[in-house]
Amino acid sequence: MSTSSQAGDRAEAASQAGLQPAASDDVQQLQREIERTREQLGETVEQLAARADIKGRARDKAAEVSGQVKSKADQARQEAAAKAESVLGQLADKTATARQKAQSAGESGKGQIQKQVAPVWEAAPDPVRQAVAKGASTARQRRVPLAAAVGVLVLGYLIVRRWKRR
């Protein structure tokens, strides 16, 4: 039996039973199904359009990756700043300790050197004393350039030494 003959049989059975055919119910049901199908089709079309929009997807992905990179860069910058601050604090502590040790060693060494140099100083002729005093005075007045020159000499020595090792 075909579906159209079955529907006709049902309508005929309903009319024989004294009921009106349920055609209006069938029409409403079909309209609801059509509406549901239209909604599903609209959603499917939207999804397909979104998949076909390659430029838009690329823009979204680029924005997402850019945000991740910026976030990681900020995090790395903060970590580097924290580590730099920590290292600077440690360096300041060690520098202060080294300075105190150097001052105390300098003071005790200065006294010992003066004891050993005093006899030599007394035995030196006046022109030698004057030349040494003048040189010491000049060195005190030009401490920074003298320290820079000594630093350059030490650095040059270390570079030449390392170069010869290769």
pLDDT of residue 1: 44
Percent of the chain with pLDDT over 90: 22
Q: Does pLDDT of 162 surpass 70?
A: yes
The 10s digit of each residue's pLDDT in 89-143 is 888 888 888 888 877 776 777 677 777 777 877 787 888 878 888 888 888 888 8
pLDDT of residue 113: 72
pLDDT of residue 40: 94
Instruction: Output the pTM of the full model.
Output: 0.33
pLDDT of residue 33: 94
Domain locations along the chain: 30-123, 125-166
User: How big is the chain by its Cα radius of gyration, in Å?
Assistant: 49
pLDDT of residue 19: 45
pLDDT of residue 59: 87
* Other CB atoms within 10 Å distance of the CB of residue 137: 10
Backbone angles phi, psi at 17, to 5 degrees: -80, -5
Q: Which residue from 90, 89, 71 is spatially nearest to 79, judged by alpha carbons?
A: 71
